[in-house]
Amino acid sequence: MHSIHVDVTTAYIESQSSPEDHHYVFSYTIRIRNDGTVAAQLLNRHWIITDANGKVQEVVGEGVVGQQPLLQPGEDFHYTSGTSLETPVGSMHGSYQMCTATGDRFDAPIAPFTLAIPRSLN
């Protein structure tokens, strides 16, 4: 019934980063696909962002990039956003709160993924 699949691609944004000031900017492109049998709308997002020093940022809010997409079975939605860290490596994970037309709410988990400047991980 409910099956939301989330794929993530990340990139380091060197032009907006300032390593000498411990400021590293990353973009992440998300693809949310409804593999379930009922339509589901993304209502809210919940992110936990952790840098290499263990500093945690929590982000909670409505929708994504100003939208609350409604995904029919088989449909997907793409968006790109970004975050900054004080270290060259970090991670993100979280969930999307989804709602069906009948009002059934459920969380779609977002598995942990790594944010890292190129060549920082071997």
- Domain extent, residue 30, equals 4-113
Residue 81 lies in a domain: yes
Residue 119 lies in a domain: no
The span from the CA of 81 to the CA of 16, in Å, is: 14
Beta bridge partners of 80: 29
Cα 28 off chain centre by: 7
Q: Which CATH number does the domain housing residue 78 bear?
A: 2.60.40.1470
Residue 102 lies in a domain: yes
How many domains in the chain?
1
In Å, how far are 20, 23, 47 from 12, measured between CA atoms? 16, 11, 18
Residue 45 lies in a domain: yes
pLDDT, tens digit, 9 for 90 and up, residues 50-82: 999 999 999 999 999 999 999 999 999 999 999
Residue 33 lies in a domain: yes
The pLDDT value recorded for residue 22 is 97
Rounded to two decimals, the pTM is 0.91
The pLDDT value recorded for residue 101 is 85
pLDDT, tens digit, 9 for 90 and up, residues 12-53: 999 999 999 999 999 999 999 999 999 999 999 999 999 999
Residue 118 lies in a domain: no
Q: How many helices (H) and strands (E) does the chain have?
A: 0, 8
Residue 10 lies in a domain: yes
The span from the CA of 35 to the CA of 26, in Å, is: 28
